[in-house]
């Protein structure tokens, strides 16, 4: 009798698990079915999709491990940053609160340059995007606009930055946000590339890099940034698979200065859903990686193998 009761309870638990799995699958399938594909094309570099579901419009790149959202826009509140990484990018403003010349590598849907232009209308913003198809999609589906202050260059970001260095150009706010759909392009992960970026930073300039918080490249990336910039801020948020690296040439500001810089940014950033006052406490410099890992170079940058 005791054995029968045990079997009955086990069967009941199994039945609950199966029911839960079926309900989850039904919910997933329902979500996929309800998503409307607004646009799809095969560009020179990738498969590009624009989908919309429940008022959220997303740009996706198709890659080896499936589709990856590059940009999502809340159509009911287009200003709002949907992803944590976009919000975390604004932490760079705690290091340089008043940028005059901004360089962004990677366009996506154009939400970041649009926000920075609205926040700093007098600043020049140059966006580097290798794929003309992405530029077209950003303009058609995500309201991205160029003007005398916001310009887009269809070019490999490394080529542009190398030329800018040779020309003696400088920027005081640089964002690296280029993705292939699989990982960061491997030639934009190396020590040589970061040295080229460093060359085009003003003395007070800040570099903000969006990368992943979990991958086999994490320690390699960290050691590479440390080799070029020394100490850097490492910003993460719960619920996000991204981290943001914030570096500059001179010593980083202390926690007190970060908090002072955050105060005047609080109200301007509220419409974007950025709780800037929370960031200083999250911006640590203590290494949380294996410091014996090899620095990435132009001869050793196996992003396709380690970026998983």
Residues carrying an active site annotation: 177
**Cα 300 to chain centroid, rounded:** 23
CA atoms of 98 and 105, how far apart (whole Å)? 19
Q: Taking a C-beta distance cutoff of 8 angstroms, is the pair 102, 126 a contact? A: yes
Whether the CB-CB separation of 172 and 96 falls below 8 Å is answered with yes
What lies within 8 Å, CB to CB, of 208 at 6+ separation is: 89, 91, 92, 173, 174, 175, 176, 244, 245, 246
142 CB neighbour count, 10 Å cutoff:
22
Closest-CA residue to 146 (of 109, 114, 175, 118): 114
Q: How far apart are the first and last CA of the chain?
A: 51
User: Who contacts 223 (Cβ-Cβ below 8 Å, separation ≥6)?
Assistant: 289, 291, 293, 294, 295
Contact indicator for 269, 115 with CB cutoff of 8 Å: no
Provide the CA 200 distance to its chain's centre, in angstroms: 21
Spatial distance between the Cα atoms of 139 and 146, rounded to a whole number of angstroms: 9
Q: Is 46 exposed, middle or buried (0-12, 13-18, 19+ CB in 10 A)?
A: buried
């Amino acid at each position: 009798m005791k054995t029968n009761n045990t079997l009955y309870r086990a069967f009941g638990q199994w039945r609950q698990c199966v029911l839960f799995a079926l309900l989850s699958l039904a919910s997933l399938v329902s979500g996929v079915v309800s998503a409307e594909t607004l646009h799809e094309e095969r560009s020179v570099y990738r498969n590009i999709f624009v989908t919309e579901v429940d008022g959220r419009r997303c740009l996706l790149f198709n890659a080896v491990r499936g589709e990856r959202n590059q940009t999502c826009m809340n159509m009911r509140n287009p200003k709002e940053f949907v992803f944590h990484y976009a919000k975390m990018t604004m932490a760079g403003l705690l290091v340089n609160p008043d940028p005059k010349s901004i360089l962004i590598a990677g366009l996506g849907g154009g939400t970041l340059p649009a926000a920075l232009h609205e926040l700093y209308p007098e600043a020049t913003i140059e966006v580097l995007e290798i794929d003309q198809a992405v530029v077209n999609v950003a303009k058609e589906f995500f309201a991205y606009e160029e003007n005398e202050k916001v310009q887009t260059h269809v070019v490999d970001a490394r080529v542009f930055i190398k030329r800018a260095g040779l020309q003696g150009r400088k920027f005081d706010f640089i964002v690296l946000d280029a993705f292939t759909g699989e990982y960061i392009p491997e030639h934009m992960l190396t020590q040589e590339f970061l040295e080229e970026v460093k060359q085009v930073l003003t003395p007070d300039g800040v570099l903000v890099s969006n990368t992943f918080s979990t991958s086999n490249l994490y320690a390699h990336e960290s050691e590479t940034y440390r080799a070029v910039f020394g100490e850097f801020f490492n910003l993460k948020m719960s619920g996000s698979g991204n981290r943001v690296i914030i570096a500059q040439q001179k010593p980083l500001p202390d926690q007190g200065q970060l908090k002072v810089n955050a105060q005047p940014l609080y109200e301007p950033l509220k419409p974007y859903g950025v709780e800037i006052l929370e960031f200083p406490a999250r911006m640590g410099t203590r290494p949380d990686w294996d410091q014996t890992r090899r620095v990435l170079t132009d001869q050793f940058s196996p992003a396709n193998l380690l970026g998983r």
